[in-house]
Structure 1
Amino acid sequence: MVRILIFGNSGSGKSTLAKALAARHGCAHLDMDTIVWEPGRIAEARPMDAVRADLDAFLAQHASWVVEGCYGDLVEHAAHACTELIFLHPGCEACLANNRRRPWEPHKYATPEQQDAMLESLQTWVRGYYERDDAWSYAAHRRLFDAHAGDKTEYTTLPSPD
């Protein structure tokens, strides 16, 4: 049984690693973006009690899973259930480059053009990762990782999913 929780900045490689690990272990995968945002309306958050309920339901429904996201409050909420916590932070430039190469994400955006239209605001948000002190910041992620008492791994470059 694996229960892997991956977190980091946008563009850090969370989804790439999560998909590879879920495929390797034959387990369920949850991208937290799919429960945080109103369907079809990226940047319009759902009520946090509904988001936590959906996260709890996913964790309870699957014996093995890989969950990934940048939401520090949700990572903290789920960390008690994971068998491994993975923190990805390859640096700002790597995240920006990864976002520029990101394929269309139809579970988030209705069209590739809609995704492209959001890129610059996403890149601005990514650039602020090391300066902000909110639930999605490096400071919050660092605190979560350092406080976690279970198995944990930190990567400053994207690991090979093999």
Structure 2
Amino acid sequence: MAAALAENNGSDVVNLDSVFWMPGGYNQKRSEEQVAIAIEEIKQSSDWVVEGVFGALIEPLVECADMMIYLDFQWQDCYEALLSRGSESSKQLDPEAADANFQALLTWASQYEHRHNKNSREFHQRLYQSFEKDKYRLLNRNDVNQFVKDFGASI
């Protein structure tokens, strides 16, 4: 979705995984300083679409955003999407490590409803509710497809 919206608008796509994790796999975090520098660079950029679940990274970007799209899917839909997408780590790590990372991702993602931190549904809902500009809450893949279609036509 981020890629389609960015393409329609001529924007850059920022994947928060690439801000948070070091290159070479999703097993080594960047330093807080490196992440802060990357977030500041994004904020200074004029045109971007940011995607990801890292609430602590999204929070400082909200003040610069013109629009917020909250993908509020049920767990089963997220789980199926993760399985169909497969492990991004498999492209970067040895197969055994990639499988372990993917299993850890599935476990982590399954806890979304129950976490009480900035990577939780609770926090994302608060960000969404407090956002005062254009905002959209999409509940399933059909909503996403329709939004991308409609948004592309309106540019």
Q: Normalization by structure 1: what TM-score?
A: 0.80
Does the C-alpha gap of structure 1 residues 25 and 86 become closer, same or farther in structure 2, counting only changes over 3 Å? same
Does the C-alpha gap of structure 1 residues 104 and 129 become closer, same or farther in structure 2, counting only changes over 3 Å? closer
Give yes or no for contact 1:104–1:112 (8 Å, CA) kept in 2.
Answer: no
Higher helix content, 1 or 2: 2
Could you tell me which runs of 5 or more consecutive residues in structure 1 were left unpaired when the two chains were aligned.
1-16
Alignment: residue pair count = 144
Runs of 4+ in 1 over 4 A off after TM superposition: none
Give the alignment partner of residue 92 of structure 2, picking from 85, 88, 110. 110
Identify the residue that residue 20 of structure 1 maps to in structure 2.
4
Separation of aligned partners in 2, 1:19 and 1:148: 22
Could you tell me which runs of 5 or more consecutive residues in structure 2 were left unpaired when the two chains were aligned.
150-155
Identify the residue that residue 82 of structure 1 maps to in structure 2.
65
Letter of the 1:72 partner, please give it: G
Give the alignment partner of residue 45 of structure 1, picking from 29, 36, 50. 29
Higher strand content, 1 or 2: 1
Q: CA deviation at 1:99?
A: 0.4
Identify the structure with bigger relative contact order (alpha carbons < 8 Å, sequence gap 6+).
1
Instruction: Please tell me whether Structure 1 or Structure 2 has the larger radius of gyration of its CA atoms.
Output: 2
Q: CA deviation at 1:54?
A: 0.8
Separation of aligned partners in 2, 1:58 and 1:73: 14
Identify the residue that residue 29 of structure 1 maps to in structure 2.
13
Q: Secondary structure at the match of 1:43?
A: coil
Q: Normalization by structure 2: what TM-score?
A: 0.83
Separation of aligned partners in 1, 2:87 and 2:115: 27
